[in-house]
Amino acid sequence: MKDLQKTDLKTMTNDISDGKYMLFFTADWCPDCRFIKPAMPQIENEYSDYTFLKVDRDENIDLAGEMNIMGIPSFVAYDHGKEIGRFSNPDRKTKQEVEKFIDSLKK
């Protein structure tokens, strides 16, 4: 998974304008983020049509604010620079819940 460097919403949207992307908002100190982290390589492999980008919420606090990301871990899907869905709440997320979210984007 690639790390998204510190950026703002306009720049990030422009940078991901070609293809499908899944933003994974996380932080090193977050226990719920550490819970889902081991499953992320499997999720990435299963959904290889997406480029997964790890977004350090603390490093990108302004971007998180611009995007109204209030809880982590959070997932935000983009298709050619347009947001197509998000799984963002303060709860711990399981591999199955993340997969269900990504599957729901195909409808």
Q: Is-catalytic flag, 68?
A: no
Tell me the three state secondary structure of residue 79.
Answer: strand
CB 74 within 8 A of CB 25: yes
Residue 54 has which token pair? Answer: 């790890």
CB 83 within 8 A of CB 74: no
Q: Which of 22, 23, 27, 33 is catalytic?
A: 33
Tell me the three state secondary structure of residue 26.
Answer: strand
Q: Which of 30, 43, 69, 102 is catalytic?
A: 30
Q: Is-catalytic flag, 10?
A: no
Catalytic residues: 30, 33
